[in-house]
């Protein structure tokens, strides 16, 4: 039986890192990506290989750039084989008034959070169609469902992720490929370190389970979705502790 091969973007820290560990534990062969932390990514790949005895290929670059993504998928196929699971996790946030935001900042958020899905899916799908099998998992946010004040670009990008997920799921279902998304609430990652102690306390008070989520919990759900029946597709699964 051939091993599953997963490509995980934004894997050097936070949710992406936890997903990489969880899938390595499950025996997946991995290609992991980040844009800037090349040394950290390379060290992490070596750690995963040594700890879980699976091949792990580090690929540093911007998944919002089609040329880079094309080269990345070519490298993965040559060294590991065709990708059977794509986890689109790369993402950035921007907090501030819309009127204070530059077009460059807007474009950066959209490119990182949404254009990256287009690029990665475009190059993952052909091999999945040939195999009549594949799993695509997009990491989204509750703000893509309800919107957040002072996070217009981020909310818009994640709303796009959700619609992208539903539309692509319909397109690929006849080929045995499922496409789902996890809409995360407040997960305790570096991205959410921008909150002050008082703001964090107030957020916790609003969440019924009484705490932030963990990257490991998100990774556990990701693995469950990867192993779910193909009839589960086109779903935006909210993981927010009952918050919204």
- Run means of pLDDT, 10 residues per run, the chain, 244 residues: 93 97 98 94 98 98 98 98 98 96 98 98 98 98 97 98 98 98 94 79 94 97 98 98 95
This prediction's pTM: 0.96
pLDDT of residue 199: 86
Whole-angstrom distance, CA of residue 123 vs CA of residue 128 = 10
| Active-site residue, selected from the candidate residues 28, 52, 133, 154 | 154
Is-catalytic flag, 123?
no
Whole-angstrom distance, CA of residue 81 vs CA of residue 75 = 9
Q: Is 27 left (phi over 0), alpha (psi -120 to 50) or beta?
A: left
pLDDT of residue 36: 87
């Amino acid at each position: 039986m051939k091993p599953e091969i997963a490509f995980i973007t934004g894997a050097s820290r936070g949710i992406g890192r936890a997903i990489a560990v969880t899938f390595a534990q499950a025996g997946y062969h991995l290609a992991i990506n980040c844009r800037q932390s090349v040394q950290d990514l390379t060290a992490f790949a070596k750690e995963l290989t040594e700890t879980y005895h699976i091949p792990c290929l580090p690929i540093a670059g911007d998944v919002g750039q089609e040329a880079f993504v094309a080269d990345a998928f070519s490298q993965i196929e040559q060294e590991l084989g065709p990708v059977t699971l794509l986890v689109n996790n790369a993402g950035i946030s921007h907090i501030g008034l819309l009127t204070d935001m530059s077009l460059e900042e807007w474009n950066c958020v959209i490119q990182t959070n949404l254009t990256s899905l287009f690029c990665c899916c475009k190059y993952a799908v052909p091999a999945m169609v040939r195999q009549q099998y594949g799993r695509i998992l997009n990491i989204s946010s509750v703000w893509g469902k309800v919107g957040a004040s002072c996070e217009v670009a981020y909310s818009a990008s994640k709303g796009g992720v959700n619609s992208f997920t539903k539309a692509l799921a319909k397109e690929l279902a006849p080929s045995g490929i499922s496409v789902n998304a996890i809409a995360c609430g407040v997960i305790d990652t570096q991205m959410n370190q921008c909150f002050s102690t008082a703001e964090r306390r107030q957020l916790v008070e609003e969440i019924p389970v009484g705490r932030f989520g963990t990257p490991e919990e998100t990774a556990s759900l990701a693995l469950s979705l990867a192993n779910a029946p193909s009839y589960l597709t086109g779903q935006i699964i909210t993981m927010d502790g009952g918050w919204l």
